[in-house]
């Protein structure tokens, strides 16, 4: 029999262990998001990825005070790829939370019921009878189509949910996408959203053509669709068998329906294809029956689906439910079970990241799982290996649910070689041979070599020029490594002082390619503040945290001055940093700590002699809202609406909702049985208001 070692249960964590695990999960999920959304080359299965997100959510629910600013629950997708113009979505394109079994689905329906408080609402959201639009979840690439006066003017990928790629020319080649909307009952401006996908017969034919031409085959239809839509030459996209199903909308100049089901019918009337298998269900039992029906039909469908999406049908309820950090509260994706296979784990190799983290990677005997050949899997850390007692030479059970590289589920113990030995995690860096240390409470072992470790130095430079940072086209990972090896680059500022004449003489280069590199680098000598902060590679500062800091401080000078003053933990600058909604003490420590190091300040001075950092130019809250730009805190029990609905309404009006009262708080809404927050507000002179005053201000 195989033996499966389970990870430490969430209910056994203390606060210290939970903080370390959340940090590991944030790093792992961000890594997998980049591979999936930017490179169309995932290295873990859907099942493993979803398990990471579920674990992160479970820990955050048990330790709400430990939620990180770069938490995966705040993030969707990854940044748009280089080569296309960037498009900012008028309304974010968020992903969906997932359900994996009947209990998860019933919990979702109950969460909708719990969101509301008014008696007249409760009947409409009864889990036994609520109307829900159920649709097969197509495994493709999300796309938004903008129409003005009935004409297609813009098409964009989801990207990171806020910014996508302009693929208008390519989308115009899809037969399923009307260039002009049919009829005349459409708003003057409307974003129709849906999925670009490829049916299996077209996928197999395309791979046959690629193999005949000596080109690598696509791993699955989803990757084929993504790769086909992201062609710089629209003629290539036109030759690929891409299709489009419409299923949602973004910005609209006027309401298009009262229910989601009505909206789907309007899409059909306007000339779009809507999945004919979609069904209007009533109550949780009907949607579960629909899921079972789709699972039975799955293999017979001409396209891949990986589950069913459920959406609350009433658009008024949808609007009031609103969104959590990365997903709507009114919809959920009910995924299908994963597929499994067995193979031999040939070797465990160690990769070193830019922060010195040692990440073990399983090299597998190639095996086909669900029609896809897989060869590698990330093992995360030494605890993962120890929990599952994974050894080189083991036969392992793996599973995937639509991607390329699987999760190692367990070891098949009866097939373990007699000569097998437990895997000994290295105690030193495999690159620079410095000591590798695991700090108490940390899940990751790190190289102590710092800047003397070539792997860390190279990875930090790769991060600096990456898409989400300075985005220097033509200066890829291989070039960074080569230039480092030949001492052409040692620090970020060196990138802007490259010897292009010397580069032109290098093998594989030339005057023209060196000139193109110089042009690309010079084009990045001015950068926005949020990208600059992210590029510095400060621990725990991902894209979202960088944007939070840039939005708050607005200029590099103000941010740097505040961070240097924040070395005083009793000072106002430190309190201000911690008071930014979304910046916890753990993150604040790392941000302020970056400026405590003399070599980091010198790096900044050197870099600023080469580049200009523009002030933050992100969107400000709507100016016509009475709560625009305000910080609001709720305390006590609200009677007219739940705390979740109140928070959602405040955020929709441009406010930031905080969990604690401080000198930066603008309003404290006081419900019944208010506690210490009301006392603190009075002491700080913060304006308080009753629930009735809040409802009048919020327009409810």
Burial code of 552-584, b = ≥16 C-beta within 10 A, e = fewer? bbeebeebbebbebbeeeeeebbebbbbbebbb
- Contact between 615 and 288 (Cβ < 8 Å): no
- Contact between 462 and 477 (Cβ < 8 Å): yes
Q: Positive or negative CA dihedral for 430, 432, 433, 436?
A: negative
Residue 189 sits in a domain of what CATH number? 3.30.470.30
- Contact between 406 and 374 (Cβ < 8 Å): yes
Within 8 A by CB and 6+ apart from 676, the residues are: none
pLDDT given at position 212: 83
Q: Are strands 331-335 and 98-99 parallel, antiparallel or unpaired?
A: parallel
Give the rounded distance of the alpha carbon of 216 from its chain centre. Answer: 28
Helices 572-579 and 556-565: crossing angle, nearest 10°?
120
- Contact between 517 and 503 (Cβ < 8 Å): yes
Q: Are strands 687-690 and 656-658 parallel, antiparallel or unpaired?
A: unpaired
For residue 12, give the 3-state DSSP assignment. helix
Q: Residue 425 has which token pair?
A: 């995690």
Instruction: Say if residue 271 is in the same domain as residue 130.
Output: yes
> What's the first-to-final CA gap in the chain, in angstroms?
60
Instruction: Say if residue 189 is in the same domain as residue 235.
Output: yes
* Angstrom distance (rounded) from CA 106 to CA 92: 27
Pick left, alpha or beta for residue 631 (phi over 0 → left; psi -120 to 50 → alpha; otherwise beta).
Answer: beta
What does the H/E/C string look like for 586-616? HHHHHHHHHHHCHHHHHHHHHHHCCCEEECC
Cα pseudo-dihedral 463, 465, 468, 471, rounded to 10: -170
C-alpha distances in Å from residue 584, one per residue of 103, 443, 581, 587, 660: 33, 20, 8, 5, 12
Whether 243 maps to a domain, the answer reads: yes
Instruction: Say if residue 92 is in the same domain as residue 186.
Output: yes
Sheet holding 667-670, edge to edge: 656-658, 631-635, 667-670, 687-690
Whether 411 maps to a domain, the answer reads: no
Residue in 442, 374, 440, 437 with CA at minimum distance from that of residue 408:
374
Exposure of 120 by Cβ count < 10 A (0-12 exposed, 13-18 middle, 19+ buried)?
A: exposed
User: For residue 191, what are the β-bridge partners?
Assistant: 146
Instruction: Say if residue 94 is in the same domain as residue 187.
Output: yes
Whether 225 maps to a domain, the answer reads: yes
Within 8 A by CB and 6+ apart from 339, the residues are: 369, 370, 399, 400, 401
Exposure of 226 by Cβ count < 10 A (0-12 exposed, 13-18 middle, 19+ buried)?
A: buried
Residue in 315, 406, 408 with CA at minimum distance from that of residue 369:
406
pLDDT given at position 283: 95
pLDDT given at position 147: 96
Instruction: Say if residue 97 is in the same domain as residue 237.
Output: yes
Residue 164 backbone phi and psi in degrees, to 5 = -120, -165
pLDDT given at position 696: 84
Total domain count for the chain? 3
Catalytic residue check, 137: yes
Taking every pair of C-alpha atoms in the chain, what is the biggest distance, in angstroms?
Answer: 77
For residue 276, give the 3-state DSSP assignment. coil
Give the rounded distance of the alpha carbon of 563 from its chain centre. Answer: 27
Instruction: Say if residue 576 is in the same domain as residue 645.
Output: no
Task: Tell me the DSSP string of 527-591.
Answer: EEHHHHHHHTT-TT--HHHHHHHHHHH-SHHHHHHHHHHTTSTTSHHHHHHHHSTT--HHHHHHH
**pLDDT < 70: residue spans in the chain:** 1-6, 34-42, 45-47, 69, 73-83, 325-326, 368, 370-373, 400-405, 451, 581, 616-624, 700
For residue 148, give the 3-state DSSP assignment. strand
Residue 531 sits in a domain of what CATH number? 1.10.150.20
The residue from 137, 388, 647, 677 that is catalytic is 137
| Domain interval for residue 548 | 527-614
* Angstrom distance (rounded) from CA 252 to CA 144: 12
* Angstrom distance (rounded) from CA 117 to CA 101: 27
Whether 386 maps to a domain, the answer reads: no
Instruction: Say if residue 260 is in the same domain as residue 314.
Output: yes
Instruction: Say if residue 577 is in the same domain as residue 666.
Output: no
Whether 502 maps to a domain, the answer reads: no
* Angstrom distance (rounded) from CA 392 to CA 408: 13
- Tokens 């203390």 belong to 14
Whether 521 maps to a domain, the answer reads: no
Instruction: Say if residue 685 is in the same domain as residue 539.
Output: no
* Angstrom distance (rounded) from CA 93 to CA 163: 9
Residue in 531, 464, 521 with CA at minimum distance from that of residue 491:
464
Of 305, 335, 365, the one marking the end of a domain is: 335
Of 335, 354, 378, the one marking the end of a domain is: 335
Helices 643-652 and 691-698: crossing angle, nearest 10°?
40
For residue 630, give the 3-state DSSP assignment. coil
pLDDT in tens, 609-658: 999 998 765 544 455 678 877 888 888 888 777 777 887 788 777 777 77
Of 301, 335, 369, the one marking the end of a domain is: 335
Reported for 522-525, long-range contacts at CB under 8 A and 24+ positions apart, including other chains, are: 524/470, 524/471, 524/472, 524/611, 525/496, 525/610, 525/611, 525/612
Instruction: Say if residue 603 is in the same domain as residue 649.
Output: no
- Tokens 């629950």 belong to 73
Whether 609 maps to a domain, the answer reads: yes
Instruction: Say if residue 201 is in the same domain as residue 320.
Output: yes
* Angstrom distance (rounded) from CA 418 to CA 423: 14
Q: Positive or negative CA dihedral for 416, 421, 426, 431?
A: negative
- Contact between 300 and 201 (Cβ < 8 Å): no
Instruction: Say if residue 537 is in the same domain as residue 679.
Output: no
Q: Residue 648 has which token pair?
A: 């959602």
Angle at 623 between CA 620 and CA 626, to 5 degrees: 120
DSSP structure class, residue 395: E
Whether 534 maps to a domain, the answer reads: yes
Residue 638 sits in a domain of what CATH number? 3.40.50.10190
For residue 646, give the 3-state DSSP assignment. helix
Task: Tell me the DSSP string of 16-54.
Answer: HHHHHHHHHHHHHHHHHHIIIIISS--SS-HHHHHHHHH
User: For residue 136, what are the β-bridge partners?
Assistant: 308
Secondary-structure percent of the chain, ordered helix, strand, coil, rounded to 5 = 40, 20, 40
Residue in 698, 689, 553 with CA at minimum distance from that of residue 628:
698
């Amino acid at each position: 029999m195989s033996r499966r070692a389970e990870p430490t249960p969430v209910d056994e964590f203390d606060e210290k262990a939970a903080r370390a695990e959340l940090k590991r999960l944030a790093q792992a999920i961000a890594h997998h998001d980049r591979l999936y959304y930017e490179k169309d080359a995932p290295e873990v299965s859907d099942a493993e990825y979803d398990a990471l997100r579920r674990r992160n959510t479970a820990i955050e629910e048990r330790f709400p005070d430990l939620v990180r600013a770069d938490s995966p629950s705040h993030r969707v997708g990854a940044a748009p790829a280089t080569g296309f113009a960037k498009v900012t979505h008028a309304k974010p394109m968020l992903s969906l939370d997932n359900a994996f079994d009947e209990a998860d689905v019933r919990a979702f329906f109950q969460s909708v019921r719990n969101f509301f408080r008014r008696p007249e609402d409760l009947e409409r959201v009864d889990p036994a009878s609520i109307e829900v639009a159920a649709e097969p979840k197509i495994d493709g690439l999300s796309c938004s189509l903008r129409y003005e006066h009935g004409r297609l003017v813009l098409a964009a990928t989801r990207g990171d949910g806020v910014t996508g790629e302009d693929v208008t020319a390519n989308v115009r080649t899809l037969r399923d996408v009307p260039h002009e909307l049919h009829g005349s009952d459409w708003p003057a401006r409307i974003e129709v959203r849906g999925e670009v996908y490829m049916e299996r017969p077209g996928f197999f034919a395309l791979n046959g053509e690629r193999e005949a031409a000596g080109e690598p085959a696509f791993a699955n239809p989803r990757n084929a669709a993504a790769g086909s839509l992201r062609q710089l030459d629209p003629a290539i996209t036109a030759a690929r068998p891409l299709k489009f199903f419409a299923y949602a909308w973004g910005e609209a100049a006027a309401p298009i329906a009262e229910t989601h089901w009505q909206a789907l019918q309007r899409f059909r009337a306007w000339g779009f294809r809507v999945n004919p298998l979609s069904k209007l269900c009533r109550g949780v039992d009907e949607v579960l029956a629909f899921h079972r029906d789709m699972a039975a039909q799955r293999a017979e469908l001409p396209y891949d689906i990986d589950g069913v999406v459920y959406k609350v049908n009433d658009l008024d309820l949808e609007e009031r439910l609103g969104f959590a950090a990365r997903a709507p509260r009114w919809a959920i994706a009910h995924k299908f079970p994963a597929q499994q296979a067995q193979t031999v784990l040939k070797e465990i190799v160690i990769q070193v990241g830019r922060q010195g983290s040692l990440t073990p990677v399983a090299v597998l005997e190639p095996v086909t799982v669900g029609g896809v050949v897989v060869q590698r899997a990330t093992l995360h850390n030494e605890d993962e290996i120890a929990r599952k007692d994974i050894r080189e030479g083991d036969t392992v059970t793996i599973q995937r649910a639509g991607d390329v590289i699987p999760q190692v589920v367990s070891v098949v113990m009866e097939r373990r070689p007699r000569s097998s030995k437990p895997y000994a995690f290295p105690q030193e860096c495999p690159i620079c041979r410095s000591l590798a240390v695991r700090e108490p409470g940390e899940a990751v072992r790190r190289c102590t070599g710092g800047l003397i470790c070539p792997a860390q130095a190279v990875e930090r430079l790769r991060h600096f020029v990456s898409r989400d940072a300075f985005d220097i086209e033509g200066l890829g990972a291989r070039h960074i490594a080569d230039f480092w090896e030949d001492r052409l680059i040692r620090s970020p500022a060196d990138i802007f002082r490259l010897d292009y004449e010397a580069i032109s003489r290098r093998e594989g280069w030339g005057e023209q390619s060196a000139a193109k590199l110089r042009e690309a680098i010079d084009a990045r000598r001015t950068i926005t503040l949020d990208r600059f902060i992210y590029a510095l590679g400060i621990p725990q500062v991902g894209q979202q945290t960088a944007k939070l800091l840039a939005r708050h401080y607005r200029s590099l000078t103000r941010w740097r001055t505040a961070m240097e003053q924040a070395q005083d933990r009793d000072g106002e600058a430190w309190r201000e940093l911690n008071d930014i909604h979304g910046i916890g003490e753990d993150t604040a420590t790392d941000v302020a700590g970056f400026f405590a190091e003399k070599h980091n300040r010198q790096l900044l001075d050197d870099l600023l002699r080469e580049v200009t950092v523009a002030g933050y130019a992100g969107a400000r809250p709507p100016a016509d809202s009475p709560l625009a730009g305000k910080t609001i805190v709720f305390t006590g029990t609200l009677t007219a609406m739940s705390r979740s609905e109140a928070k959602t309404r405040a955020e929709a009006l441009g406010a930031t909702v905080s969990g604690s009262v401080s000198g930066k708080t603008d309003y404290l809404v006081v419900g019944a049985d208010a506690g210490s927050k009301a006392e603190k507000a009075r002491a700080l002179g913060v304006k308080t208001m009753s629930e009735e005053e809040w409802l009048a201000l919020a327009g409810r």
